[in-house]
Structure 1
Amino acid sequence: MPDTTPHARPRVNTREPFPALPRPSAPAHVITSDAEAIEIAQALAARFAAGAAERDREGWLPIEEIDAYSQSGLWAINVPRAYGGAGVSYATLAEVIATLAAADSSIAQITQNHLTILAHIDLDGSEAQKRELFGLALAGHRFGNAFSELHSKNVASFETRFVEDGDDVIVNGEKFYTTGALLAHYVPIVAVGEAGQGALVFADRAAPGLTVINDWSGFGQRTTASGTTKIVNVRVPKSRVVPIAAFERPTAAGAISQIIQAAIDGGIARGALAETIAFVRERSRPWIDSGKDKASEDPFTIALVGRLVLNQHAADALLERAGRLIDAAVAEPTEHNVNAATLAVSEAKVLTTEAALDAASRLFELAGTRATLLSHNLDRYWRNARTHTLHDPVRWKFFHLGNHALNGVNAPRHPWN
């Protein structure tokens, strides 16, 4: 395992292959309720917040933090109760992710594909696959991702292929934006079979031919290690090939993927707002024309903070509502329920995006010039918000909301909606 002592921690953007991490040496904790999930998330968030600015500034990979996170049981909270999980509400799952993202949005993002994959296993996996893969997640194994391709014509075009070879399949391709793959134990690869059917192919992270390169160079979400995964003749048992069929029928798959994205943005907004309030109270000076002794007494500052608080509460409320509608769509996946969940998540995504970008920008306007000092590294909130909110464009959320309201057209079903 790489040395994770201070000043020798593995860094992002080294452009070097990164070796697979060891499997968990002990089973993870198994969470049994929504309340326990939120309680554990709050405790971990306090721990992760302490080093978030330094990790971002120095480019340190959060290896120890991710180990603690997955061992806490939070990586298995949407495993259904029938398979030993807590099966928490998606409103709870969103709150867990937002809580962690407020502390360190990179750590929260590393989880996003794992949790989405668990939902896909439930929708498309066989009973044997559910027992095996849910069991791995409950034990603390992490699923990364190898979905997007850098040079394809759009996000839904995949050139990665697999062919059958006896009891195995052989996969070839190259992926980018592979958040979570670097620190995963298994890497689900989106690949297309000989008959044109897409599938998730669960490769062992240490499989020969699977190379994860630590070359993510985005200015935000710096420690997600969302770089390149090269797949050269990677052999995977057929038993770990899960077809992707959830979008061929009404399911909540897309809404589940999207609510995690929205929760990360909502968490960034929370973190930026908390930093603004703390900085104005403790460090900022009042403007000379205010006649006040403290920056926190400046009436214009007070009013703008009030606006940020209102925006945050609105975003949180829509996020919680979207989670409840996803729960209804999971329980009864009718066209109506799935579309209601999709549109509700679209609304939440719009508001969490706006709240994150506004709070991260207003932080400097309200806190003042001293907030821009590199020692504080407060610009990470804006960099992280601007980077993560690009995942799927909110301009299309407005379109789908309006098209349904005006013309009765349901939103399309895919992983980005």
Structure 2
Amino acid sequence: MSGSTSSLRHATADIEELRERFRPVFEKIAEGNLDREKGRVFPYEQVRWLIDARFGAVRIPRELGGFGASLWQTFDLLRELGAADPNVAHVWRNHLAFVEDRLNAPRSAATDAWIERFLDGEFVGGGWTEANNGTYANIQTKLVPEGDHWLLTGAKYYATGSLYADWLDVLAVNPDGVPTTALVKADQPGVSLVDDWRGFGQKTTASGSANYSRARVEGDHIFPATDRFAYQGLFYQTALLAILAGITQATLRDGIAALKARKRNYGHGLAQSAGDDPQLLQVVGKVSADAFGAQAALSASTATLDEIAHARIAGDEEAVKRALLDGHVATTRAQLVIIEAALRATTIVFDALGSSGVSEDLLLDRHWRNARTLASHNPRVYKERILGDWHVNDADPAKVYAISAGQSE
């Protein structure tokens, strides 16, 4: 499919202009992060601030009314948002992915209508992972035709962003057993969203259950899952990596502040002031290097995603295939680097702080809990094996997913 028939365009945005627009919103979101974490307060207002700032249109080309950002720019902004509040950043994962899918889709009246919805501030939540231990190879959620529309019945978990959404992006199978995605209005009869996420991190992402009982789906709101954009799995994974890189940056920020606030040092320390102790400064330096490494890995891997998009725009399918291979390898490498950096930084930061560092007033443990939760979405041990198999045996790193475009939990 030629990229010229889609809404994808080369990026025209300037990263500093994007930061100037969105950083004040990120900073405002960061101000209440600690209190929301302590009280498990859902950030409805904060998500709305971003919608009103048109964060959901960041990837839409300027000529269509958006900001024309590259994938590198988009994920770098998501990293900054992750440093402000990783829960809010995670909420945007499914929306940004569906926007990318509609940009990749052939231009049509229906596709243009979706882009207009995005520009008008309508928000999309997720619903791919089967509840009750279902898998992508055994999808139990069903779509059946009824007159001029379809009916959706099934149960999903990890429905991230659902409580904030106008639309839910749901994976089902049609009567022929073909995996199909359906866009369902969140507030209609037959849709039940349940806040039953029990994870110890990412507590306010609305990643619980979504249940569907003969929910209506319009005919132009269903798409074969195999038609989803080819780098979808990479996009989903990179969104998590951007947030992890943001958490690592936040750990450095909060670790520095906590060390500066320490009033005394241990008797066997190397300086009277904790802030002058070379060993404690060494810990901060190591956390700083982890934050730098995470950001660098994210930047390198997202550049390969832009190369896939560029090949799509050119309509060069062979170049798309080559870029996809590079993208899978780069994203896998970035996952290993970023997860290691995030988990190490969020652990060792306490070595610079002493007993005061574990105070619930600081809630520094939220960084580790959130990082550990995000890192568990798509187990890195498998990725190490996949990467090694590619190096040694030229194994295709993309041929391990039940759905060709790939999809992490």
TM-score of the two chains, using structure 2 as the length reference: 0.89
Match of 1:391 among 365, 370, 377: 377
Q: Does 1:262 align with 2:241?
A: yes
Q: Which residue of 1 aligns with 2:174?
A: 193
- Per the TM alignment, residue 331 of structure 1 is displaced from its structure 2 partner at its CA by 1.4
Deviates more, 1:359-368 or 1:335-344: 359-368
Q: Does 1:96 align with 2:82?
A: no
Q: Which residue of 2 aligns with 1:416?
A: 408
Give the Cα–Cα distance (whole angstroms) in 1 for the partners of residues 153 and 130 of structure 2: 12
Structure 2 stretches of 5 or more lacking a match?
Answer: 1-11, 313-319, 399-403
8 Å contact from structure 1 (residues 343, 400) kept in 2: no
Give the Cα–Cα distance (whole angstroms) in 2 for the partners of residues 284 and 149 of structure 1: 51
SS at match of 1:191: strand
Match of 1:229 among 210, 226, 232: 210
Give the Cα–Cα distance (whole angstroms) in 1 for the partners of residues 350 and 164 of structure 2: 34
Q: Does 1:356 align with 2:342?
A: yes
Q: Which residue of 2 aligns with 1:374?
A: 360
Structure 1 stretches of 5 or more lacking a match?
Answer: 1-30
8 Å contact from structure 1 (residues 102, 270) kept in 2: yes
Correspondence list, 1:273-288, <5 A: 273-283=252-262, 285-288=264-267
SS at match of 2:245: helix
Q: Does 1:68 align with 2:49?
A: yes
Match of 1:87 among 61, 65, 68: 68
**Residue type at the aligned position of 1:257:** Y
Q: Which residue of 1 aligns with 2:6?
A: none
**Residue type at the aligned position of 2:303:** R
- Per the TM alignment, residue 155 of structure 1 is displaced from its structure 2 partner at its CA by 5.1
Q: Does 1:41 align with 2:22?
A: yes
Deviates more, 1:370-379 or 1:166-175: 370-379
Q: Which residue of 2 aligns with 1:106?
A: 87
8 Å contact from structure 2 (residues 294, 342) kept in 1: no
Map Cα deviations across residues 338-358 of structure 1 (whole Å, 9 max, x no partner): 110121111222222112111
Give the Cα–Cα distance (whole angstroms) in 1 for the partners of residues 298 and 321 of structure 2: 21
8 Å contact from structure 1 (residues 252, 326) kept in 2: yes
SS at match of 2:237: helix
Correspondence list, 1:139-288, <5 A: 139-154=120-135, 157-246=138-227, 251-283=230-262, 285-288=264-267
**Residue type at the aligned position of 1:378:** L
8 Å contact from structure 1 (residues 346, 401) kept in 2: yes
**Residue type at the aligned position of 2:45:** E
- Per the TM alignment, residue 281 of structure 1 is displaced from its structure 2 partner at its CA by 1.3
- Per the TM alignment, residue 40 of structure 1 is displaced from its structure 2 partner at its CA by 2.9
Give the Cα–Cα distance (whole angstroms) in 1 for the partners of residues 151 and 14 of structure 2: 40
Q: Which residue of 2 aligns with 1:317?
A: 296
Output the aligned Cα RMSD.
2.0
8 Å contact from structure 1 (residues 41, 99) kept in 2: no
Distance 1:366 1:261, change over 3 A: same
Give me the identity figure in percent.
26
- How many equivalent residue pairs? 385
Match of 1:296 among 275, 300, 311: 275
- Per the TM alignment, residue 329 of structure 1 is displaced from its structure 2 partner at its CA by 0.7
Give the Cα–Cα distance (whole angstroms) in 1 for the partners of residues 145 and 48 of structure 2: 34
- Per the TM alignment, residue 328 of structure 1 is displaced from its structure 2 partner at its CA by 0.6
Give the Cα–Cα distance (whole angstroms) in 2 for the partners of residues 281 and 54 of structure 1: 22
